[in-house]
Chains A and B, each alone.
Chain A
Amino acid sequence: MSVRQISRILPGALALALTGCTGSGDSFLQPGGPIAAAQRTELFQIFGWTMIAILPVFVLVPLLLWRYRYRNAKARYTPDWDRSAILEVLMWGVPLVIVVVLSAQLYRTTHALDPVQPLASENPPLRVQVVGLDWKWLFLYPDLGIATVNELAFPVETSVALDLTTDTVMQSFLISALAGQIYAMPGMRTRLHILADAPGSFEGENTQFNGTGFPAQRFAARAMSAADFDAWVAQVRADGQPLTEASYALLAESSTGAQAQARLGAEGMAPGVLHFSTVEGDLFHSILHRYMHGNPVPPSAQPGAVGYAPETAEQTR
């Protein structure tokens, strides 16, 4: 019984300790959706189980060092004692059992929380395509025909299916309060599903270092009610500019969101955010496929590269 209890009480205590001193709401320790919540539970459970093997160490070290200190003539001294069958079984057995238990759990949750799986929800899923650019994220809504930079809005209680790639170096996409991260790589498509339980704004970021503007590559993931979402879409259509090949070529240039705003003449928007009312062609797939067509992508056509030239990049696509 004690084992179970420990593994139940400790996580709670730890959660309290950790969340108690938290300032921002952008971590999976204050989950905004089922995945992050499950991840938090997992963390506490591992903590609980490993304590069985680890607490004895913490307790025994001072006890042993004190009891067997040199000057303690009362303690037994057995210089040649060097094995004991019972201890041997315990030393291998206890960690082994814990690892077996944790492994079973790991296998289950790794499958259950596999990011390629759609999340259960009553509402129809929303598709979003994510393109990592140097120091900003581009979000394409293929079913709505709009696009944004550094603002990912979606209705609550809806499974959002993200398809990710980049048009530059490797990046890693993380919205901690909603789900884990996944790499985005040029010429490749990775997948992630998120779902928010309640409206709110969560910070998203790139965690894979990609140069000067790396710390600025953050965005807001905004979960909103269905009505608010529709209003938001309408607003993007209203205040956005069209995303053409030419404006994409400019956008793709290495720049933070704020710099991109200036480049594309969208200074009025929220910091770092851009809205696009229409998207020319199937941008996501043309980005994805330009690396797989068997044609070289010279630096002048490679966003993020040192010799990138937006003026000519457009034609070589």
Chain B
Amino acid sequence: MSDPDHRSEARLYLAGFGLALTLTLVPFGLVHWGLMQGKALAITIAVLAVAQIVVHLRFFLHIDLSRQKREDLQLILFTVLLLGIMAFGTLWIMGNLATRM
């Protein structure tokens, strides 16, 4: 591992790994030791999961907001938008039906 690019990139991977590790340990700890409850816990888990997904995207998949051709980034955002519509819609509709029948 002589070349400097290589080393700095490896450090980035390690940094990502460290962040991901933290973002995993915290929610597991919270649930295992019952440190939080109910809605607050659910929201914390969700936020940490989203944070971890961002970490993976940034450090492992090397997605970032700069330097990229816009058309490619659009693909990912567009997918998130459509998936959001579909998943949110499904939960909304099915949730509503469940309360009414």
Could you tell me which A residues sit within 8 Å of B by CB distance?
116, 185, 188-190
Complex: A116 Cα to B101 Cα, angstroms = 11
Chain B residues, CB < 8 A from A116? 100
Chain B residues, CB < 8 A from A188? 101
Chain A residues, CB < 8 A from B101? 185, 188-190
- Nearest A residue to B97 by beta-carbon distance? A188
Give the tally of cross-chain contacts (CB within 8 A): 6
Complex: A190 Cα to B96 Cα, angstroms = 13
Chain A residues, CB < 8 A from B100? 116, 190
Chain B residues, CB < 8 A from A189? 101
- Nearest A residue to B101 by beta-carbon distance? A188
CB distance from B94 to the nearest CB of A (A): 12
- Nearest B residue to A187 by beta-carbon distance? B101
Complex: A188 Cα to B101 Cα, angstroms = 5
Complex: A266 Cα to B18 Cα, angstroms = 78
- Nearest B residue to A190 by beta-carbon distance? B101
When each residue 66-101 of chain B gets 1 if its CB lies under 8 Å from chain A and 0 otherwise, what string results?
A: 000000000000000000000000000000000011
CB distance from B87 to the nearest CB of A (A): 23
Complex: A45 Cα to B65 Cα, angstroms = 49
CB distance from A130 to the nearest CB of B (A): 14
Q: Which 6 pairs across A and B sit closest by C-beta, in order of nearness? A: A188-B101, A189-B101, A190-B101, A116-B100, A185-B101, A190-B100
Complex: A296 Cα to B101 Cα, angstroms = 20
Complex: A85 Cα to B101 Cα, angstroms = 52
CB distance from A76 to the nearest CB of B (A): 40
Complex: A116 Cα to B97 Cα, angstroms = 13
CB distance from A89 to the nearest CB of B (A): 28
Complex: A75 Cα to B88 Cα, angstroms = 54
6 contacts between A and B (CB under 8 A): A116-B100, A185-B101, A188-B101, A189-B101, A190-B100, A190-B101
